[in-house]
């Protein structure tokens, strides 16, 4: 291993470590993730890593916030918040996931779901940070449904809070089933049914 190249800024060094750690945690889980593997994949020293991340837990929590949460924020949360018609934005996003994901996407499963299952029962800091992501996801979906009610796209009697919780839970369940079966088709079938459920919330014609 070697020190960062002279032209690698501290921010770039940190980002390189962070994304290598995210890949290692996704493949191995947090508890089995190897600092040695992370260093080998980056070519950096322990000193470089611990300068930015004083412990393995600090590194893992940074992955949760800056890779997992940030990715969901960019791909899903922000577009829903900013859309004039968030319900159509949600349905279009679901369509893209149904259409675009292939079998290899499910080899390791959903990074968020994996860490929820592994770490929430055993580590309070992980549990809190992971729950914040799930709560944000639920809140964004809830607001999407509330906006849908205001636009007469969702029935007024729909409990938006409970329905949003169900949608997020079912969405993550689709990932779990697909990971277990190593099958994009399983995900497509599950997500297609979830999409139909969302459409069923519309008022009668």
Tallying the residues shown for the chain, one arrives at: 205
Tokens for 69, please give them. Answer: 């949460």
CA-to-CA distance for 114 and 30, rounded, in angstroms?
A: 9
Tokens for 28, please give them. Answer: 């191995």
Instruction: Kindly list the structural domains of the chain, giving each domain's residue range(s) and its CATH number in brackets, ordered by start.
Output: 1-54 (1.10.10), 60-200 (1.10.357.10)
Mean pLDDT across 184-204: 96
Contact 112, 172 (CB under 8 A): yes
pTM greater than 0.75: yes
Query: Residue 153 has what DSSP assignment?
Result: S
Q: Give 7's pLDDT tier (boundaries 50, 70, 90).
A: low
Query: Residue 115 has what DSSP assignment?
Result: H
CA-to-CA distance for 104 and 125, rounded, in angstroms?
A: 30
Tokens for 88, please give them. Answer: 């159509």
CA-to-CA distance for 146 and 8, rounded, in angstroms?
A: 47
Give the burial class of 30: count Cβ atoms within 10 A of its Cβ; 0-12 exposed, 13-18 middle, 19 or more buried: buried
> pLDDT digits over 120-174, tens only?
999 999 999 999 999 999 999 999 999 999 999 999 999 999 999 999 999 999 9
């Amino acid at each position: 291993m070697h020190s960062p190249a002279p032209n690698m800024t501290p921010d770039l060094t940190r980002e390189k470590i962070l994304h290598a750690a995210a890949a290692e945690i996704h493949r191995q889980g947090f508890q089995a993730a190897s600092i040695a593997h992370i260093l080998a994949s980056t070519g950096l020293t322990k000193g470089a890593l611990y300068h930015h991340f004083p412990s393995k837990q600090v590194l893992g929590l940074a992955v949760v916030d800056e890779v997992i949460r940030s990715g969901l924020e960019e791909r899903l949360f922000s577009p829903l918040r900013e859309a004039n018609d968030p319900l159509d934005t949600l349905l279009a996003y679901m369509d893209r996931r149904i259409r675009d994901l292939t079998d290899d996407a499910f080899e390791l499963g959903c990074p968020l779901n994996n860490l929820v299952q592994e770490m929430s029962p055993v580590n309070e800091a992980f549990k809190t940070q992971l729950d914040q992501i799930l709560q944000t996801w639920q809140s964004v979906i809830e607001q999407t449904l509330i906006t849908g009610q205001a636009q007469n796209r969702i029935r007024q009697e729909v409990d938006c809070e409970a329905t949003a919780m169900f949608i997020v839970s079912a969405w993550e369940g689709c990932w779990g089933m697909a990971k277990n079966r190593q099958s994009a088709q399983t995900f497509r079938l599950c997500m297609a049914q979830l999409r139909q459920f969302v459409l069923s919330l519309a008022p009668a014609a």
